[in-house]
Structure 1
Amino acid sequence: MPLNVDGNETAGPASPRTGPLTGIVVLDVTRVVAGPFCAMILADMGATVIKIENPKDPDYTRTFPPMVNEGESQTSAFYAQYNRNKLGVSLDLRSADGKEIFKRLVRKADILIENFRPGVMDKFGLGYDDLKHENPRLVYAGISGFGRTGPNSRRPGYDNSGQATGGLWSMNGYPGQPPVRVGTIIGDLSAALYAAIGILAALREAERTGIGQVVDISQQDAVLSLTESAVVRYTVDKEIAGPLGNDHPFVRPYGQFPCADGYVFFGGYTDKFWAITCALFGEPGMATDPRIDTMEKRFDPEVSEKIVNPLLERWFGRYTKAQLEAMAGDDVPLSAIKSIDEVIADPHIEARGMIVDVPVGGRDIRMLGLPIKLSGATAAAHDPAPSLGEHNAAVLQGMLGLDDAALAALREDGVI
């Protein structure tokens, strides 16, 4: 969507957004990660995303490390990673003028994303029941700790809240030791992905019927959906999933194994992959050894511990991670367990476009790319995350037709 304006703020992004969502307008009233990441996915795919922040209380991840530059030009690369390709508008939604401007933006929008606790937008008079009268086709996505319904819906929640209450935390770690949180914000990230899926489904429905709806995403729900077989293991066998370290609940061999310079993942548990592995490492007869010649036998914990694992450790211990991948990675499920510097240097990651250059503080900083690959999409340069209110003029004049005097008055009153 072109935005042309004369004013003090930046006129718009450095390059027009392209992609399958070109022409879709998203209002991003979110902060931290779950909401911003969801909106960024849509922006990466071509949507015009307008990030709206309170001028007195902006997204506090603007202060999260790592920082690029120092002093007044200091910029958060953490913030930039989840807010690239967006337009930045500052707007106080508590003020009467702010509410009116927001409603006018809603009339122009296709999607709204917020990640307040349920009820907060209603208190502003800007909840879905209010906004659907401004724009009946609006897709309204709410991401929260516990969702919009249920007895815990009003509770505050962070990523760790989702990991704790969704069951994942209790399953992570080592047997006999206290549970360990998953080493990334999996609750935020999974909620963002589910929100993007729900938004696109609701958008399709709105395009077909002219009627929008609420997309209700709970971090707890998102985390629970990631617990694999834990629910059915309990409902069928009353087995309560617990920490397993690097092991699978029943599939063996399927885990971490040491090698000459670190560790690899090996998952050649099927009869086919087991026979290939035995041949690759010079002992083809082990594929027909009557103690371990079937998948069911190798699944047995005692057999795995006493026979299979020592065999694999002897084979793998002779080689480095790179050597193992080179000799076996194309034939069986064997992968180096890589540190993040090794991942960034991985030529396959490079070929997949998973590390991209994004301007931050006048420099190009390498950060995560988009995992969604569409054959019809053309690569586009990434625009930097906006500074607070950077595109006030571009959006409020270009979209709403406010003149210079109106914009100046809104600045003077602290509305923007």
Structure 2
Amino acid sequence: MIGTAETTALLARSSGALRGVTVLDLTRVVAGPYCTMILADMGATVIKIENPGEPDLTREFPPARNDAGTVSSGFFAQYNRNKLAVRLDLKQPEGKALFLEMVENAHIVVENFRPGTMAKLGLGYEVLQAANPAIVYAAISGFGQSGPNTLRPAFDSSAQASGGLWSINGTREEPMRVGTVLGDLAAGLYAAIGTLGALREAERTGRGQLVDVSQQDSILSLTENALVTFTETGKVAEPTGNGHPFVRPYGRFACKDGFVFFGAYTDKFWREACRVFGDAALADDPEIDTMAKRFDDETYRRRVEPVVKRWLGAHTKAELEAMTGDRFPLSPIKTIEEVVADPHIQAREMVVPVHYQGARFDVFGNPIKLSGGTLERNAHAPSVGQHNRQVFREWLGLDAARYDALAAQKVI
């Protein structure tokens, strides 16, 4: 069963597209918390469940503030905003029983343990489904719930390495990891999408399902044309630095005060660039007047690249951004400081305040913009076990004696 109207209403958010949906969040670090953050921002009631003696280690990740011995992490606040938090020891029999009661009244469970961990606790998918046939169970892991590598430990870099992305990023001399935890973030995004799809099916049929998301799979799906190029031609993709394997001009170019991305490679955009930079006649030059001609490596190096370097090298990033406007693709390569100050980013509310244990942190907003709104602005992130009483007494309906006994036993 999905939770009764009475118990669900006790925790229901006041607004949001997912208002009324209750999520039990067993995740930690990035991949899982990012998934549940997306759901929480859209109005789901997300209950973060942490072991009493071993809470999410990102609670102390930098950047962090230490106020009279209380550590407040901006990293944690960013990924755990809009959530409730409870303590619950799943290794104790009473903790398992209590968790199953929560499952009976929830819609979604999300975990990012190594495969098999929940089964060892006696709380695998089959057990949870028996308690609530409509439960949607999302499992995020390095290599997925099946296959020969399923039990291998993994971090983000494991996914970037094993999924092929590391081998095509950087330069031929030095393949490089993408400079963010893309394996974690992509898996979190796919898990959120899969979870919502499964929830829709559960609402229609009353049957939930397992959502199995692998970081390796997620990274492989982000390698653009590398896989199909190999399967079709046998060519193994290599790093292309700041360029593109077959689109030109398209890449990083120097300007007076830094670098910009310039991508005017189509005939339409190339003609616009020629006009903007005062070289209108180049648009009709018979050697480079078509996209196919400009794609030729020798022609590009000899005729096109020197022109683009001359154009861009004569101006600053701000000048180039103002000159090009909406005429063709050109973007300054901005530092995070410049991104935060970007009026467009501000207009899109992509830097928002989040509060955690008395501290305010400015973090990234939600890139999903719903006309009905999302709930990340001025959200709060919870302290360890902050909502024990609200969740266990008010939502789940434990009587005072049982609640006090579980607290005394350090189950909650």
Q: TM-score per shorter chain, which class? A: over 0.9
Secondary structure, counterpart of 1:61 in structure 2: helix
Q: Alpha-carbon deviations, 1:47-71, whole Å to 9, x = none?
A: 0000000011111111110002334
In the alignment, the residues of structure 1 paired with residue 114 and residue 374 of structure 2 have an alpha-carbon distance, to the nearest angstrom, of 37
Residue 29, structure 1, aligned to residue 26, structure 2: yes
Which residue of structure 1 aligns with residue 62 of structure 2?
65
Quote the offset at 1:380 in angstroms.
Answer: 6.5
Q: Percent identity, please.
A: 58
Counterpart AA for 2:151 = R
Residue 130, structure 1, aligned to residue 130, structure 2: no
Which residue of structure 2 aligns with residue 105 of structure 1?
102
* TM-score, length-scaled by structure 1: 0.95
Larger CA deviation: 403-412 vs 47-56: 403-412
Residue 266, structure 1, aligned to residue 252, structure 2: no
Change (3 A) 1:258 1:69: same
* TM-score, length-scaled by structure 2: 0.96
Give runs of aligned pairs for residues 388-403 of structure 1, distance below 5 A: 388-403=384-399
Q: Alpha-carbon deviations, 1:119-148, whole Å to 9, x = none?
A: 100011111110101000000000000000
Counterpart AA for 2:308 = L
Q: Alpha-carbon deviations, 1:262-309, whole Å to 9, x = none?
A: 111011100110011001100101111122111011111222222211
Which residue of structure 2 aligns with residue 305 of structure 1?
301
Which residue of structure 2 aligns with residue 281 of structure 1?
277
Quote the offset at 1:363 in angstroms.
Answer: 3.0
On the 8 A contact 1:17/1:47 being kept in 2, the answer is no
Counterpart AA for 1:310 = P
Q: Alpha-carbon deviations, 1:341-366, whole Å to 9, x = none?
A: 10011110111111111113323211
On the 8 A contact 2:263/2:329 being kept in 1, the answer is yes
In the alignment, the residues of structure 1 paired with residue 357 and residue 66 of structure 2 have an alpha-carbon distance, to the nearest angstrom, of 7
Structure 2 residues not aligned, in runs of 5+: none
Secondary structure, counterpart of 1:89 in structure 2: strand
Change (3 A) 1:126 1:388: same
Which of 23, 35, 39 in structure 1 is aligned with 2:36? 39
On the 8 A contact 1:52/1:91 being kept in 2, the answer is yes
Which residue of structure 2 aligns with residue 8 of structure 1?
none
Secondary structure, counterpart of 1:252 in structure 2: coil
On the 8 A contact 1:17/1:48 being kept in 2, the answer is no
Give runs of aligned pairs for residues 5-404 of structure 1, distance below 5 A: 16-175=13-172, 177-377=173-373, 381-404=377-400
Quote the offset at 1:243 in angstroms.
Answer: 1.0
Counterpart AA for 1:43 = A
Quote the offset at 1:212 in angstroms.
Answer: 0.3
Quote the offset at 1:73 in angstroms.
Answer: 2.1
Secondary structure, counterpart of 2:32 in structure 1: helix
In the alignment, the residues of structure 2 paired with residue 409 and residue 61 of structure 1 have an alpha-carbon distance, to the nearest angstrom, of 29
Secondary structure, counterpart of 1:126 in structure 2: coil
Larger CA deviation: 18-27 vs 369-378: 369-378
In the alignment, the residues of structure 2 paired with residue 36 and residue 18 of structure 1 have an alpha-carbon distance, to the nearest angstrom, of 21
Change (3 A) 1:380 1:339: closer
Number of aligned residue pairs: give it: 407
Larger CA deviation: 308-317 vs 190-199: 308-317
On the 8 A contact 2:41/2:375 being kept in 1, the answer is no
Change (3 A) 1:378 1:44: closer
On the 8 A contact 1:32/1:61 being kept in 2, the answer is yes
In the alignment, the residues of structure 2 paired with residue 378 and residue 83 of structure 1 have an alpha-carbon distance, to the nearest angstrom, of 15
Larger CA deviation: 191-200 vs 395-404: 395-404
Quote the offset at 1:381 in angstroms.
Answer: 4.4
Deviant stretches of 4+, over 3 Å: 1-4, 378-382
Change (3 A) 1:366 1:12: farther
Counterpart AA for 2:74 = A
On the 8 A contact 1:171/1:241 being kept in 2, the answer is yes
On the 8 A contact 1:271/1:294 being kept in 2, the answer is yes
Q: Alpha-carbon deviations, 1:311-335, whole Å to 9, x = none?
A: 1111111111011010103110011
Secondary structure, counterpart of 1:402 in structure 2: coil
Quote the offset at 1:17 in angstroms.
Answer: 4.5
In the alignment, the residues of structure 1 paired with residue 302 and residue 409 of structure 2 have an alpha-carbon distance, to the nearest angstrom, of 74
